[in-house]
Chain A
């Protein structure tokens, strides 16, 4: 056994940030146990980091200004679309803005959100369910497309650790995709044809994050017990692979 190298300033910070190889991290850990002053410094740095997260973290959970979404959703229009369609989309977006305003005024009438919550908690009964081994065996893509009348398929969320465990079909028509990770945490995606208004919202319901992602073709509501940041990554990946 060689004596560990002395703990440098940069070791302390790399330790806090999880950047040390396991062996070196263990040496730092031992040094902290032996020197209370060093341990106190690390604790203070960590506390500061937590406060920084507490201070700015909640900003990412605020609903995005509708104007941003409208601007981004409308950006492609001038290049690719003829005038009439462009006007139709502008009108749809405008309706979306009005719809969004109405949603704010009438928080109890958020239909898609209510539907997705019902599907998640079981109060909305599915008319058919594909589950267990049949998820892999059945042609889930085809069933989903046929049921919804949409060119969508269940996103592969393996890189986030989530595996598709069941697909529920509801009247509407709508579908609920249920994913689970190794810790049995559940992520659900409720999908149906869009009501036509572009919309993007990230909400919090108790421990759950709910992300509503909607263009003028598809509405998707993703619900899971995860941080806002993780939800954003999952939602983005799910949305882009729903129709690819």
Chain B
């Protein structure tokens, strides 16, 4: 830094640069834009507070996703008590705005199937398929062997296929994070 007051620091600059992708990942995990934005906001607070915890600048994406994932899991644990129901119709406002109307029904089914996956499976599909991480990067980020990444991605894709082949009978309401007892 050249000492000019008010320039964004490197950390702040990098953090902002990661936000769009982090928000996309959060939306994939949580399923809803509003909830995802709350997660990202929480994640920003923690990242600012713990910025000394980031050892290498290149690892910021993984570091932020890990923080966000923890925030999300904590939230889930708290909410599991009351159970969270999401009206699928709201999601069209959230996510399908860019989808041509003809594809909306298909996109809705796909969305529903994605949200029926376990968090672990949805997470790995997002990391590999949307965030574009290599197996090695995923293994490092999740702290699991690369073989686990490979078997998990295979299972996750298969589960998603099964969910798509057996849609939930056109139900308008899905339970995003089934509470104990109601899990399929």
Contact = CB atoms under 8 A, between A and B. Distances in A.
A59 interface: yes
Interface of B: 1-2, 4-10, 12-21, 23-25, 27-28, 33, 36-37, 40-41, 44-45, 48, 95-99, 107, 110-111, 114, 125-126, 128-130, 132, 134-135, 150-151, 153-154, 157, 160-161, 164
A76 B5 CA distance: 10
Interface stretch (A31-39, A67-75, A107-115): A67-75
Given A17-B153, A73-B12, A243-B7, A56 B20 contact: no
B148 to A, nearest CB: 11
Given A44-B161, A62-B23, A73-B12, A216 B6 contact: yes
Contact of B95 (A14, A56, A85, A240): A56
Nearest to A44: B161
A10 B20 contact: no
A141 interface: no
A200 B114 CA distance: 31
B24 A75 contact: no
A134 interface: no
A117 B128 CA distance: 35
A9 B44 contact: no
Contact of A55 (B1, B15, B45, B110): B110
A94 interface: no
A5 interface: no
Given A51-B110, A68-B44, A75 B128 contact: no
Interface string A77-99: 00001000100010010000000
Contacts of B48: 71-72, 75
A217 B111 CA distance: 43
B129 A49 contact: yes
B154 A68 contact: no
A8 B7 CA distance: 53
A58 interface: yes
Interface of chain B: mostly helix, strand, loop or mixed: helix
B4 A10 contact: no
Contacts of A10: 150-151, 154
Q: Which 7 A-B pairs have the closest CB atoms?
A: A236-B17, A60-B20, A60-B24, A59-B24, A216-B6, A49-B129, A10-B150
Contacts of B1: 243
Given A62-B23, A236-B14, A92 B6 contact: yes
Interface stretch (A120-128, A164-172, A173-181, A227-235): A227-235
Contact of B21 (A13, A52, A60, A216): A60
16 contacts: A14-B135, A14-B150, A48-B157, A52-B110, A56-B126, A57-B24, A58-B98, A59-B33, A60-B21, A72-B12, A72-B44, A73-B12, A92-B6, A198-B8, A233-B17, A240-B13
B52 to A, nearest CB: 12
Nearest to A56: B28
